[in-house]
Each structure stands twice: as C-alpha cells, then as structure tokens.
Amino acid sequence: MPFDLSLLQQRHSVPSRQLGEPAPDEATLHELLEAAIRVPDHGKLVPFRLIRLQGEAKLVFGRRVAEIAQKNQPEMSDAKLEKDRLRYTFAPLVIAVIARLDALSKVPEIEQKLSAGTVAHNILLGAFALGYGAQWLTGWAAYDREVAALLGLADNEQVIGFVHLGTPQTDVPDRDRPALGDLLSSWTP
C-alpha cells in the first residue's frame, strides 16, 4: 500500500479562535475518534478516555472554569477571567483527552500518559486529514484538580489536553519548524 507523508508534512494547528462551524458531524466524529484511539498501548490498558464538550455544555464548562480561577486567584484581572470563561467557546467542539493511569500496572505511568497523548495527536492528524482544523491546548485548567472534579475525573485520571475542533475560518500559515539536522544525532559505541 503506497503511503504519502504529505499529511504529516503539512499538518499544522489552527488557533481555536479561528475555528468555527461546522464541526465534524456525528458519523464523521465517530469515525475520527475510532481511528484516533488506535494507538500504541503497552499492556493493553486502554489508559485513556474522551469527554465531549459541545453546545451549551462547553459554555457552562467555561463559566465554571472561570469561577474556579476567580476563587483560587481573587486578584486575577477581569481580562484573564474573561479569557478563561471564553476559552472553550470558539471552536464548535472540544474533546478532552483523559489519561487513566493504573499505578499497579507494570507499565510505567509515563508510557500510559504517552499513549493518551498519542490519542490527542491522532485527533489532530485525523481532523487535518478530513479537512477540519484542530488545536491541542492545556492551560492551567488541564492540571487543576477542581477542574478534574468538574469533569468527573477519578483520582487516577488527568487531562492530557483539550482538542478544539472545527472548520478553519481563515487561512493559517504554518509556523517555522526546527531543522532535522539540529535534532538528529547518531549514537556510536
């Protein structure tokens, strides 16, 4: 089967503020997510799950995240609070990628997190392949236990990222990429 690397060579993130309707329809989203969960998974632990934020739910989520921010940092500026409140409103669909860590497994937690991270990356690649835009964001909310509770996460779960999905509303130029020569070396004994 011939393979073309152009997908990997051209993929880039589209800022969430530049993502609008339409999001993938239900059938396309199902197909995208089915493909995205085909990741390396040492021990077959399935150390990930997905939470959809869409419609009114993502608006309420943003408001509650801002409330948590204000409670934890009462001196936070109104502009920063507004940014937190609006963060999830731009793209029509946000998928929270969650790592489910099994501390009793022989598989190191870092491998479990990396498996969940590849799910997020696959969503980015799949969205691009289907003609959609996507951006993987974290921010403080991804690491906050009150936000984790808001999402209904168990103690062994954590947010890997919020993948914002939609249709690019403008052309987004690619950013400068590192030179492979600066990154690749050869080990010699």
Q: With the C-alpha atoms ordered 35, 37, 42, 43, is the resulting torsion angle positive or negative?
A: negative
What is the length of the chain? 189
Reading phi first (left if > 0) and then psi (alpha if -120 to 50, else beta), residue 51 is in beta
Q: Which residues are annotated as a binding site for FMN?
A: 11-13, 38, 42, 136-138
- Beta carbons of 86 and 55 less than 8 angstroms apart: no
- Per DSSP bridges, beta strands 133-137 and 48-54 are unpaired
